[in-house]
A and B are shown apart, each in its own frame.
Chain A
Amino acid sequence: MGRKFLLVLCTLMTAVSLGCGQGQSSGDGGGLNGKLTLTGSSTVAPLAAELAKRFEQLHPDVRIDVQSGGSGKGISDARSGVADIGMASRALKDGESDLTAHQIAADGVGLIVHSSNPVSELTNEQVVAIYTDQVAQWNEVGGGDVPITVVHKAEGRATLEVFLAHFQLKNPAVTPDVIVGDNEHGVKTVAGSEGAIGYVSIGTAEADVKAGVPIRLMPVAGVAATTANVAAGKFPMSRPLNFVTGDDPSLLSIAFIEFCQSKEVHDLIVSQYFVPIQR
């Protein structure tokens, strides 16, 4: 009995180890080879990693290394040549005109409320008042007699940064009733509470509205929160996601950036809740 078991075990292990050796051949070069290093924004990094994975599948001789560390690091690494491409989740500033930004997507954040909420629009001051607990009832901003449930994100989330930057809030000043993790969690929380207000990625919210979830996107500063407006750069609570390069990027860098700006990766951009740029 014992020896039979051992025999089976050994056979299995041999089979597994043999199996591991296979499946690494095949694939046609495609002409491109070499290694690219991307560093920078932790918002862009997960998207860049997905883009890199697909690019590597198309060009098996290319290796792409993606590291996050903040937009500032991306820009300084692109300038110093430590990285081939820097990632930045903002537009280039005046002092950075020696670099070239290649926009690959946009990130838009929209305010959402329950679909039964009669308030159609809030001013920036009203949103700030709600998030800092100066306004606690919807009837103070033209709604029904319902207490406001403030839905906020956990520290470190990109949507939180965009939201705080747009309304010029400091996070310790915000008095949330609920803190959510990802966008879907935020949507479900607002959909389950009539007095709730929150903010999520516009891509997620649009998809959920289409699927019949009882939430509504609010306009910000009079601009409707749609992915089309984000892509056109009209929506205020948004930011570009850029790849940044120095003066003369390598052929491989150019090929990768062009690939990331092409239509064939729009599904990846959408799956990360970002907005593809129409060209």
Chain B
Amino acid sequence: MTSSSPNTLFPFNADRWLAFVTRTCALFSAIIVLLVVTFLALESWPAIQHVGFGRFVTDASWHPLSGLFNLIPMIVGTALTTIGSLFIAVPLGIGSAVFGCFYAPPRLAGFHRRSVELLAGVPSVVFGLWGLVVLVPLLAPLGGSGQSLFAATLVLGLMIVPTIALTSQSALQAVPSQLISGAAALGLQRWVIVWRIALPAGKSGIKTGLLLATCRAMGETMAVLMLAGNVAKMPDSIVSPIRTLTTNVALEMGYATSEHRAILFVSGLVLMSVVCIVILLMDFAGGWKNG
């Protein structure tokens, strides 16, 4: 690439400035995550030092004020709600994107896209309130109080549908039109074009969407807090209450003092590590980069 040099038409050395500005932006966005992790580590250090790593997995239960700090139920809770919500959202989201790109009449496609965008804009507390007042009483006859793993997973699934649907749709629209028209000219049926040409070609974008949705599901707090029942215990059925790492912090942070507070930062640190592991795993899972 050639860099521009000053001339009479444009007296600034634009490329040098742009290089500087973009470099600063890149550094800044990369450094934020480091700052967050450092902060979490510093805040949780007193607790880790005092309690030791082992007790976060070997204690009998989570009762921080009584000196019991088992985080395993919360890790399981985060994992179960995230995986469950992906099972709901992936078919819905990709299906909706395929419909919008290949099957919808143009006018309906526009309307459909707007409504999915609108769904993406619904605040999580609204999802939570709707779930608590409408969904939970409907689920209560299944057993328990209705505030359960099932309720939280269901609403979480609905919440991450738009992330998957919108990124998948953008990925499908970015598939070169020659591929699609070429396939159509060969007389391939529409579903073959979708299944064998468009989806593989848009794989990379769809995977990015999945990653974003997974991270959102793991990080969601408010709606899960209102729907999951929040008992820090291993769930024994789909209608058992469950607590996630995020709701653990949100429930107790406001009233926690010194050591309890530091222990909650450990909860945040564990969540960060789980997110890191998931991102790494997805990175390594079969040809992610070249997609």
- B207 contacts A by Cβ under 8 Å: no
Interface SS of chain B: helix, strand, loop or mixed? mixed
Q: Is the CB of B255 within 8 A of A157?
A: yes
- A99 contacts B by Cβ under 8 Å: no
Q: Is the CB of B140 within 8 A of A192?
A: yes
Q: Is the CB of A179 within 8 A of B243?
A: yes
- Give the distance in Å from the alpha carbon of A232 to the alpha carbon of B254 in the complex: 30
A68-B257, A192-B136 known; A179 vs B66 contact (CB < 8 Å): no
- B147 contacts A by Cβ under 8 Å: yes
Q: Which residue of A lies closest to B248 (CB)?
A: A154
Chain B residues within 8 Å of A158, by CB: 255
Q: Is the CB of B230 within 8 A of A154?
A: yes
Chain A residues within 8 Å of B243, by CB: 179
Q: How far is the CB of B20 from chain A (nearest CB, A)?
A: 15
B-contact 0/1 string along A17-60, CB 8 Å cutoff: 00000000000000000000000001000000000000000000
Using a CB-CB cutoff of 8 Å, which residues 181-201 of chain B contact chain A?
A: none
Total A-B pairs in contact (CB under 8 Å)?
80
Chain A residues within 8 Å of B260, by CB: 155-156
Q: Is the CB of B145 within 8 A of A180?
A: no
Q: Which residue of A lies closest to B225 (CB)?
A: A181
- B218 contacts A by Cβ under 8 Å: no
Chain A residues within 8 Å of B144, by CB: 149, 177
Chain A residues within 8 Å of B133, by CB: 188, 192
Q: Is the CB of B255 within 8 A of A177?
A: no
For A188, give its contact among B64, B132, B252, B257 (CB under 8 Å): B132
- Give the distance in Å from the alpha carbon of A247 to the alpha carbon of B261 in the complex: 34
Q: How far is the CB of A133 from chain B (nearest CB, A)?
A: 12
Q: How far is the CB of A122 from chain B (nearest CB, A)?
A: 19
Q: Is the CB of B256 within 8 A of A156?
A: yes
Chain B residues within 8 Å of A172, by CB: 61, 63, 66, 68
Q: Which residue of B lies closest to A68 (CB)?
A: B257
- B229 contacts A by Cβ under 8 Å: yes
Q: Is the CB of B252 within 8 A of A193?
A: no
A-contact 0/1 string along B124-136, CB 8 Å cutoff: 0000000011001
Q: Is the CB of A155 within 8 A of B64?
A: yes
- A277 contacts B by Cβ under 8 Å: no
- B142 contacts A by Cβ under 8 Å: no
- A223 contacts B by Cβ under 8 Å: no
Chain B residues within 8 Å of A226, by CB: none
Q: How many residues of A contact B (CB 8 A)?
A: 26
- B234 contacts A by Cβ under 8 Å: no
Q: Is the CB of A181 within 8 A of B68?
A: no
Q: List 19 A-B contacts (CB under 8 A).
A: A42-B257, A155-B64, A155-B65, A155-B260, A156-B252, A156-B255, A170-B66, A171-B65, A172-B63, A172-B68, A177-B145, A178-B145, A179-B230, A179-B251, A180-B230, A181-B225, A185-B132, A185-B226, A193-B136
- Give the distance in Å from the alpha carbon of A247 to the alpha carbon of B250 in the complex: 41
Q: Which residue of A lies closest to B64 (CB)?
A: A155
Chain A residues within 8 Å of B230, by CB: 154, 178-181
For B231, give its contact among A178, A192, A193 (CB under 8 Å): A178
- Give the distance in Å from the alpha carbon of A158 to the alpha carbon of B140 in the complex: 29
- A70 contacts B by Cβ under 8 Å: yes
Using a CB-CB cutoff of 8 Å, which residues 128-185 of chain B contact chain A?
A: 132-133, 136-137, 140, 144-147
- B209 contacts A by Cβ under 8 Å: no
Chain B residues within 8 Å of A103, by CB: none
- B241 contacts A by Cβ under 8 Å: yes
- A217 contacts B by Cβ under 8 Å: no
A155-B64, A172-B61, A188-B132 known; A181 vs B145 contact (CB < 8 Å): no
Using a CB-CB cutoff of 8 Å, which residues 26-60 of chain B contact chain A?
A: none
